[in-house]
Amino acid sequence: MIFETISTSNHEEVVFCHNKDAGLKAIIAIHNTVLGPALGGTRMWPYASEAEALNDVLRLSRGMTYKAAVSGLNLGGGKAVIWGDPNKDKSEALFRAFGRFVNSLGGRYITAEDVGIDVNDMEYVLRETEYVTGVHQVHGGSGDPSPFTAYGTLQGLMAALQVKFGNEEVGNYSYAVQGVGHVGMEFVKLLRERGAKVFVTDINKDAVQRAVDEFGCEAVALDDIYDVDADVYSPTALGGTINEKTLPRLKCKVICGAANNQLANDQMGVEVAAKGMLYAPDYAVNAGGLMNVSLEIDGYNRERAMRMMRTIYYNLGRIFEISKRDGIPTNQAADRMAEERITAIGKLRLPHLGAPAPASRAAAATDPPSAPGLHAGPVRLAIHS
């Protein structure tokens, strides 16, 4: 059953991590390393079952492959999930045990934060492995990627507004934002700074209150977010919220948010387009955090990071062009753009050169991979003129 699941999702490697003393149950999934080492965050969530955790990590890691590819990064796709309640089950031992598993992969997988994980947790992971990004600046990291993800989402949003309405003035439109966590709170702040009308919801009542008090958002009940009469629906909590039940209720013209795997399935992309809505593909929109942490591999530079965020605007523009050109929904256009790049680079068959681990924590590079696409460490494609 597990091998069947893994083979259909086309993963290179899936690692089940267990440490009884630390209470660790985690899964690391490496989807594809043709473009580079698999970089993707770790999510901590109280999954209802093992199957649910496995499905989540497989979907998320595949998404990272596509995200890196569409964003022009020299990275592959990977992700990890820790099965546990982030409010109750965190400990130093848990994260250090997890860090040892990450280290055992020798740099084929590089981790970062995702839902339920913060910078402090990653610092425990860092005690066991160099293959961590998104750690605090004092460790040579770039800190929490969430503000960059939010800023990148804004760039993607502007591209979508431009295509849908012929005007990318963010403040001219209204928004229904689902989830005001690390990314969502930054995102509503950016929207409100530009004068937009913003409706918010979240299972965390304190977060909703903060969005109302600090940023002047309007709160709506959890399930009512799908009925809000807003120009843009921004899923910024968990995935799968665009589905057969919710789509008939949505009144928006644009769907653009930071959550991963927003469409419950690929067919939803067809149905969204059929309703005349413009879907800004999630993994292209929310690549800001990945772009930001990816710079840690070369030595972090904030100015370069901010410039990089702007590429999201152009990547989205390219996706919308492909969608129009080929007459396909935008989710398929994004996949096409990503797959074309992976195929093209995968065919190069040039040798990889080793490169050091994240600059400030430099360790000697591991041996170059024995075959193109098989990454033994955080190596980058050599630039051949």
Residues in touch with ligand NAD (CB under 6 A):
114-116, 145-146, 149, 178-184, 201-204, 207, 222, 236-238, 258-260, 286, 289
Q: Which is nearer to ligand NAD, 210 or 251 (CB)?
A: 210
Q: Which is nearer to ligand NAD, 116 or 358 (CB)?
A: 116
Nearest to 44 by CA among 79, 100, 86: 86
Q: Which is nearer to ligand NAD, 105 or 258 (CB)?
A: 258
Q: Which is nearer to ligand NAD, 181 or 377 (CB)?
A: 181
Contact 174, 273 (CB under 8 A): no
Contact 80, 102 (CB under 8 A): yes
- Rounded CA-CA distance 353/383 in Å is 9
- Rounded CA-CA distance 65/137 in Å is 26
- Backbone φ and ψ of 19, nearest 5°: -140, 110
Q: For residue 292, how many other CB atoms are within 10 A of its CB?
A: 29
> To the nearest whole angstrom, how small is the minimum distance from the Cβ of residue 148 to ligand NAD?
7
Which residue's C-beta sits nearest to ligand NAD?
181
Q: Which is nearer to ligand NAD, 156 or 179 (CB)?
A: 179
Tokens at 347, concatenated? 């065919």
Q: What is the dihedral of CA 195, 201, 204, 210, to 10 degrees?
A: 20
Nearest to 259 by CA among 171, 194, 315, 179: 179
Contact 130, 361 (CB under 8 A): yes
Listed in order, strand segments (DSSP E) in the chain are 13-19, 24-32, 38-39, 42-45, 76-83, 109-110, 174-178, 197-201, 218-219, 232-235, 254-255, 278-279, 352-353, 380-381
- Rounded CA-CA distance 10/31 in Å is 7
Q: Which residue has the tokens 């992969």?
A: 105
Sheet with 278-279, edge to edge strand ranges? 218-219, 197-201, 174-178, 232-235, 254-255, 278-279
> Of 20, 25, 67, 79, which residue is the catalytic one?
79
Contact 268, 242 (CB under 8 A): yes
Residue 174, beta-bridge partner list: 197
Q: Which is nearer to ligand NAD, 180 or 280 (CB)?
A: 180
Q: Which is nearer to ligand NAD, 53 or 259 (CB)?
A: 259
Catalytic residue flag (residue 79): yes
Burial zone of 307 (CB within 10 Å; 0-12 exposed, 13-18 middle, 19+ buried): exposed
Contact 379, 110 (CB under 8 A): no
Sequence-distant (≥ 6) Cβ neighbours of residue 55 within 8 angstroms: 5
Q: Which is nearer to ligand NAD, 76 or 377 (CB)?
A: 76
Tokens at 217, concatenated? 């958002």
**Residues annotated as catalytic (active site), given as ranges:** 79
